[in-house]
A and B are shown apart, each in its own frame.
Chain A
Amino acid sequence: MSTHTENSPSACAGCQHHIGNLVKLGLDMSKFDYVVALAGNPNTGKSTVFNSITGLRQHTGNWPGKTVARAEGGFALDGRRYKLVDLPGTYSLLSTTVDEEIARNFILFARPDVTVVVVDASHLERNLNLVLQVLSITDRAVVCLNLIDEAERHGRRIDHRRLARDLGVPVVPTVARSRRGIDDLLTTVAQVASGEIVCKPYRLARRSRQAERVVTELADSVEATYPGLSNARWVALRLLDGDAHLEDALRSGELMELTAPAPGVAPAAGARAGSEVLASEAAVARVIETARALRWKIGSEFHDSLTEDLYTEAARIADRATMVGEASGFDLDRAIDNLVTHRVLGFPIMLAILTVVFWLTIAGANVPSGLIADFLIGRVHPWLHSLSGAIHMPAWLAGFLFDGVYLATAWVVSVMLPPMAIFFPLFTLLEDFGYLARVSFNLDGLFKRAGAHGKQALSMSMGFGCNAAGVVATRIIDSPRERLIAIITNNFALCNGRWPTQILIATIFVGGLVPAHLSGLVSAGAVVTVAVLGVAMTFVVSWLLSRTVLKGEPSSFSLELPPYRPPRFWHTLYTSIIDRTLIVLWRAVVFAAPAGAVIWLTGNIHVGGTSVAEHLVQAFDPFGMLIGLNGVILLAYIVAIPANEIIIPTVLMLTVMTAGIAGVGSGSGVMFELDSIADVSQLLRAGGWTVLTGVNLMLFSLLHNPCSTTIYTIYKETRSRRWTTVAALLPVVMGLVVCFLVAQVWRIVAP
């Protein structure tokens, strides 16, 4: 092994990677000796393997020109430095999805020194499909047999030596979560990279006789044109399958470069390869011509039979390597499934679990929310003001910074953080355990009727916590049409930031209509009605979208019911707080800070003696009154777009300012809340609010544009201005129409 180091430290004799194509893909190889690609099916713990190898030495970006995320990192072993590139998780490399194309092209054109295929040991058969395809492209691969602990729990043991013999490449059993086997994996990767282990990958041959003849004919022609190409047969198959990218690679000579000796070894060899390129342009055209002619000779089921052959072979190899232990009499997974999908008990169990989650979130968030608010708003805010006084800061600057930017940010943090920090981990625990997939399974029938996917139940529930997180959660829906439906309708799930508004307004205006002892019950009923209305809207709008603007989007359905896994509490807590809570909170803060500034400025910039806010409120008032709201509410929804949490403080501030009420609040442009509901009620009624205003505000709070954090997240997820615009405008138009209609009918019916 050490000979390599001494011989050619710069040329890297053992390498096979194609430096030109790597650079084209944006990979900096200047500090690395070898490049290692990580492939695998989705949900095989590929990213866990990646993390446990690279630790913190990783960074993420996108594939050039694509929206697909790429992670890369590095590791060192015995003085050699390896770059590890995480390929998109795919089930196969045969079709034309963006993910599969990226993975396929990387292995083909960048020629990684080693390709590690991560395989889920309990789903060996399905995973081997991908392994066989990778092995037909590259001959330097290592199979990482992951999750062997889970397979063993389900009574399967994998004979990895047998598997390695059958596949012709090393197989390393691992449990990436606990780093078991990772060191072995790295050593093996190093040995394959240096050429110490030579792989003889298994290549599939058996096909229907007619197809086999055609494939062989073309493969011979490819081989004659590209002597030394290690995967001529695979190239032939791709050409027959009509792979446009590969045809281009043939024409441009890209494929030709790969047959030349590794660049930098000897200049003479490079020159010779160059002359070959010129010589065989006609030959390339001949190969493509042959492929086109032969395509009409193979049956129309050619593509299917390719996949079929792969699976048959995968099944055979998996069968030989799997040792099934004695069937234990009791199957825990099945027992749990019987219970949670039970005809009678299924729904009550689901409702009970979700109720507990919501109750824990609401009840558990109150105390920390109060503590944070006391600290940030009750203590730090006055302290900042006294500080500004002490250092003689100009009043306008202190107001702008502390009453505007700081206060809005503090408000968002105190109201948003605690419920999310409780809700997301609970939800993630249920997800990791496997229960949420069963909820989708139970509810799919309902969503199907609305043209949606059962998994939308999850993104919708997540939306009750936070719509931005709900939109991110739609990633689990792998069908484009249903995913867009879930994204656009997520806003109809009444998020955590809107509950306090609903409860407050319902208590004042709806609860006020009935005798005091019924008030609590009736106002709670009103809030629940609005939430249920939101769910109903989700279904109605899903149905409409799937039959109108979205009917052209492609659609497919699949729902995997994964085996139950014991949730890893601390790990879940950590990742859900990092991935979900903090990211959402950060985005909200980024948007809230400037909004706070705007709110303060509208209240403090005066034009012709009155503040901008008052001018705007007066301008909006006629339209606001027409639809049963008022100018204050409309302005509040415009300036407080970053977060629904600051709607009520903004409304109170604006009401005090425009109605000219003295002695309440903390000054113009400064948001505030009142401790006593009676005080709020008095204030709002003084501002001209009626029961209609209250009812319409509740409706508008449900049906209005998503907050800017959510809109931004929708854009990030869809990468489409069009769908982002639809998602932002559809609910607000609905809200305006509904409020308008309610107001007119109300005025006709009410005395």
Chain B
Amino acid sequence: MTPAANLAVFFLGAALLGVVFWPRRGLFARGRQGRSLARRVELEDALKHVYNHDARGQTSTLESLAGALEISSTSAVALVDRMQSVGLARVADGRILLTDEGRRYALEVIRAHRLWERYLADETGIDPLEWHERAERKEHKLSREEADALSARLGDPRFDPHGDPIPTADGAVFDGEVLPLTSLAQGERAMVAHVEDEPRVVYAQLVALGVYPGLVVCVASKSEQRIEIESEGRRFVLAPLVAQNVSIRRIEIEEPAGAPVETLASLRPGEAADVVRLSPACRGIERRRLMDLGIVPGTRVQLERRGLTGGLSAYHVRGTVIGLREEQASLIGVVRREPAAEEKRGESAIRAGVLDEDMQ
């Protein structure tokens, strides 16, 4: 064979392997998804749909079900029949209602979904945009025992990373009062309780803006077309439609009087600040590591120097020098300290050095 023919065979072979083994879209991955699983997935998704509609006080009908699951109305009828025959739902006046058994089943699926999201957030490095999609698949595969074991391993978490309560093993759901972000008036302050992860486009926008459960927000200005939010030293604008997908909880928040909260990333060399909070977006081992290093509210941090190649800066924290990347620094909320206030804590051979340098 000529070299050119060799090359052709090689690239053909590589393309073929790709078609067969490509993750999730390849023939191999598709073949693995059996038919019986698909039927169960459909049933469980239907239960979730009805449950969620109930929880929002909406009624579920054949049409809403067909729409939500993207199936034909004939299939929807067959599906509801199936739900009735196994005693999970009943139909009254065209409304689909869950039986107690159906409710329990739905909560189990939701529990598995939210636990898995919590797991992805805390123990893996998976991108936030992928959590929901992955949990949608995993929720059908996790048995009750596996869900309980996962819950125990995660320290029985109470909320998923979007701020939704995780149903307990005995099917209880915590109800807290949450309001849409749009209900806040200008100048009001609240904590984000929940960020809806569907539709994905809106969720992606909120993630990109850094809106997470636990974030403290303040409405800077508000009109029909736009809501301007101020949070941790930055401002961003949300369309009311987007803001609708964010729920808040009113709680008293102790804000350090006067001083605005910024992030550690905004410091300049030699400047010092006190940590006031770690963003909820900082999770899992990342959060543990920072706290182990002593970066907790109340800690005095000073920017010592910037690195030579992009993003890394060295900070003085509790007597040690620690390098943090810019993405990390922007997750740490701080309040700047005036040099005068700094004098009070008589700790500092190191800080004295900085002042000297500044004067030169």
Q: Interface of A with B (CB < 8 Å)?
A: 91-92, 95-97, 122-126, 129, 154-156, 241-244, 247, 292, 295-296, 300-301, 304, 307-308, 311-312, 315, 319, 322, 324-325, 327-329, 331, 334, 337-338, 341, 343, 346-347, 440-446, 448-449, 454, 478-481, 551-563, 626, 740-741, 743-745, 747-748
The answer to whether A347 and B320 have CB atoms under 8 Å apart is no
Known: A300-B159, A441-B323. A155 touches B298 (CB 8 A): no
A-chain residues with CB within 8 Å of residue B324 when the two chains form the complex = 557-559
Interface-located stretch among B92-100, B102-110, B344-352: B344-352
The answer to whether B347 and A243 have CB atoms under 8 Å apart is no
* CA gap between A325 and B298 in the complex, in Å: 25
B10 proximal to A (CB < 8 A): yes
B-chain residues with CB within 8 Å of residue A553 when the two chains form the complex = 124-125
Look across to chain A and name the residue whose beta carbon is closest to the beta carbon of B310: A445
Look across to chain A and name the residue whose beta carbon is closest to the beta carbon of B165: A296
The answer to whether B3 and A478 have CB atoms under 8 Å apart is no
A-B interface, 9 closest residue pairs, ranked by CB to CB distance from nearest: A445-B309, A445-B310, A242-B155, A91-B292, A559-B323, A244-B152, A744-B3, A327-B352, A242-B156
Query: Closest approach, in angstroms, between the C-beta of B304 and any C-beta of chain A?
Result: 8
Known: A324-B346, A560-B320. A95 touches B312 (CB 8 A): no
Q: Most B CB atoms within 10 A — which of A96, A449, A553, A561?
A: A561
The answer to whether A308 and B7 have CB atoms under 8 Å apart is no
Q: Most A CB atoms within 10 A — which of B10, B157, B312, B348?
A: B312
The answer to whether B349 and A328 have CB atoms under 8 Å apart is yes
B-chain residues with CB within 8 Å of residue A557 when the two chains form the complex = 286, 289, 324-325, 328
The answer to whether B278 and A304 have CB atoms under 8 Å apart is yes
The answer to whether B312 and A329 have CB atoms under 8 Å apart is no
Which of B156, B288, B309, B353 lies in contact with A295, CB distance below 8 A?
B156
The answer to whether A123 and B320 have CB atoms under 8 Å apart is yes
* CA gap between A480 and B159 in the complex, in Å: 25
Residues from 104 to 128 in B contacting A, C-beta threshold 8 Å:
123-127
Look across to chain A and name the residue whose beta carbon is closest to the beta carbon of B1: A626
The answer to whether A300 and B158 have CB atoms under 8 Å apart is yes
Known: A242-B156, A554-B285, A555-B125. A312 touches B214 (CB 8 A): no
Look across to chain B and name the residue whose beta carbon is closest to the beta carbon of A303: B155
Query: Closest approach, in angstroms, between the C-beta of A41 and any C-beta of chain B?
Result: 9
* CA gap between A431 and B159 in the complex, in Å: 43
B38 proximal to A (CB < 8 A): no
Query: Closest approach, in angstroms, between the C-beta of B178 and any C-beta of chain A?
Result: 13
Query: Closest approach, in angstroms, between the C-beta of B55 and any C-beta of chain A?
Result: 18
Query: Closest approach, in angstroms, between the C-beta of B106 and any C-beta of chain A?
Result: 21
The answer to whether B126 and A551 have CB atoms under 8 Å apart is yes
* CA gap between A697 and B311 in the complex, in Å: 40
* CA gap between A748 and B6 in the complex, in Å: 11
B-chain residues with CB within 8 Å of residue A301 when the two chains form the complex = 214
Which of A154, A562, A563 lies in contact with B349, CB distance below 8 A?
A154
B87 proximal to A (CB < 8 A): no
The answer to whether A96 and B155 have CB atoms under 8 Å apart is yes
Known: A126-B293, A312-B298. A556 touches B309 (CB 8 A): no
* CA gap between A441 and B289 in the complex, in Å: 18
Look across to chain B and name the residue whose beta carbon is closest to the beta carbon of A626: B6
Look across to chain A and name the residue whose beta carbon is closest to the beta carbon of B126: A552
A-B contact pairs, 27 of them (CB 8 A): A91-B293, A97-B285, A122-B319, A125-B294, A292-B168, A295-B156, A300-B159, A312-B298, A324-B346, A331-B349, A331-B350, A341-B305, A341-B307, A347-B308, A441-B314, A444-B309, A444-B325, A445-B309, A445-B310, A448-B312, A449-B310, A478-B289, A480-B285, A556-B284, A558-B324, A561-B320, A626-B6
Residues from 17 to 36 in B contacting A, C-beta threshold 8 Å:
none
The answer to whether B307 and A444 have CB atoms under 8 Å apart is yes
The answer to whether B318 and A441 have CB atoms under 8 Å apart is no
B322 proximal to A (CB < 8 A): yes
Known: A315-B318, A554-B285, A558-B322. A748 touches B3 (CB 8 A): yes
Mask for B296-335, Cβ within 8 A of A = 1, else 0?
Answer: 1111000011011111101000111111110010000000
* CA gap between A674 and B255 in the complex, in Å: 78
Look across to chain B and name the residue whose beta carbon is closest to the beta carbon of A628: B3
The answer to whether B286 and A556 have CB atoms under 8 Å apart is yes
Look across to chain B and name the residue whose beta carbon is closest to the beta carbon of A238: B155
B341 proximal to A (CB < 8 A): no
Look across to chain A and name the residue whose beta carbon is closest to the beta carbon of B284: A554
B-chain residues with CB within 8 Å of residue A560 when the two chains form the complex = 293, 320-323
A-chain residues with CB within 8 Å of residue B156 when the two chains form the complex = 242, 244, 292, 295
Query: Closest approach, in angstroms, between the C-beta of A192 and any C-beta of chain B?
Result: 27
B234 proximal to A (CB < 8 A): no
The answer to whether B319 and A123 have CB atoms under 8 Å apart is yes
The answer to whether A442 and B308 have CB atoms under 8 Å apart is yes
A-chain residues with CB within 8 Å of residue B286 when the two chains form the complex = 555-557
The answer to whether A337 and B305 have CB atoms under 8 Å apart is yes
The answer to whether A300 and B214 have CB atoms under 8 Å apart is yes
A-chain residues with CB within 8 Å of residue B347 when the two chains form the complex = 319, 322, 324
Total residues of chain B contacting the partner, CB 8 A: 63
Given A441-B307, A446-B309, A740-B6, list of 10 further CB < 8 A pairs? A126-B319, A126-B320, A247-B152, A295-B156, A304-B297, A445-B307, A448-B312, A554-B123, A554-B124, A557-B324
A-chain residues with CB within 8 Å of residue B321 when the two chains form the complex = 560-563
B174 proximal to A (CB < 8 A): yes
Query: Closest approach, in angstroms, between the C-beta of A239 and any C-beta of chain B?
Result: 10
Query: Closest approach, in angstroms, between the C-beta of B174 and any C-beta of chain A?
Result: 6
A-chain residues with CB within 8 Å of residue B4 when the two chains form the complex = 744, 748
The answer to whether A244 and B155 have CB atoms under 8 Å apart is yes
Which of B3, B157, B168, B356 lies in contact with A743, CB distance below 8 A?
B3
Residues from 149 to 197 in B contacting A, C-beta threshold 8 Å:
152-159, 168, 174
The answer to whether B323 and A558 have CB atoms under 8 Å apart is yes
B-chain residues with CB within 8 Å of residue A478 when the two chains form the complex = 289
B291 proximal to A (CB < 8 A): yes
B242 proximal to A (CB < 8 A): no
* CA gap between A688 and B304 in the complex, in Å: 62
Q: Most B CB atoms within 10 A — which of A123, A295, A556?
A: A556
* CA gap between A129 and B293 in the complex, in Å: 10
* CA gap between A184 and B249 in the complex, in Å: 56
* CA gap between A478 and B352 in the complex, in Å: 33
The answer to whether A129 and B294 have CB atoms under 8 Å apart is yes
A-chain residues with CB within 8 Å of residue B310 when the two chains form the complex = 445, 448-449
Look across to chain B and name the residue whose beta carbon is closest to the beta carbon of A241: B155
Query: Closest approach, in angstroms, between the C-beta of A188 and any C-beta of chain B?
Result: 25
Query: Closest approach, in angstroms, between the C-beta of A721 and any C-beta of chain B?
Result: 20
Known: A442-B308, A551-B126. A558 touches B157 (CB 8 A): no
B290 proximal to A (CB < 8 A): yes
The answer to whether B174 and A296 have CB atoms under 8 Å apart is yes
Query: Closest approach, in angstroms, between the C-beta of A167 and any C-beta of chain B?
Result: 18
The answer to whether A308 and B157 have CB atoms under 8 Å apart is no
* CA gap between A144 and B299 in the complex, in Å: 25
A-chain residues with CB within 8 Å of residue B123 when the two chains form the complex = 554
* CA gap between A444 and B308 in the complex, in Å: 9
* CA gap between A347 and B307 in the complex, in Å: 12
* CA gap between A451 and B248 in the complex, in Å: 34
Residues from 265 to 300 in B contacting A, C-beta threshold 8 Å:
278, 284-286, 288-294, 296-299
* CA gap between A300 and B212 in the complex, in Å: 14
Which of B158, B296, B325, B346 lies in contact with A311, CB distance below 8 A?
B296
The answer to whether B10 and A479 have CB atoms under 8 Å apart is no
The answer to whether A561 and B289 have CB atoms under 8 Å apart is no
B-chain residues with CB within 8 Å of residue A97 when the two chains form the complex = 285, 288
B-chain residues with CB within 8 Å of residue A454 when the two chains form the complex = 312, 323
The answer to whether B323 and A444 have CB atoms under 8 Å apart is yes
A-chain residues with CB within 8 Å of residue B152 when the two chains form the complex = 244, 247
The answer to whether A126 and B318 have CB atoms under 8 Å apart is yes
The answer to whether A346 and B308 have CB atoms under 8 Å apart is yes
Known: A327-B349, A553-B124. A445 touches B296 (CB 8 A): no
The answer to whether B348 and A324 have CB atoms under 8 Å apart is yes
Which of A129, A319, A479 lies in contact with B285, CB distance below 8 A?
A479
The answer to whether B308 and A445 have CB atoms under 8 Å apart is yes
Which of B10, B289, B294 lies in contact with A126, CB distance below 8 A?
B294
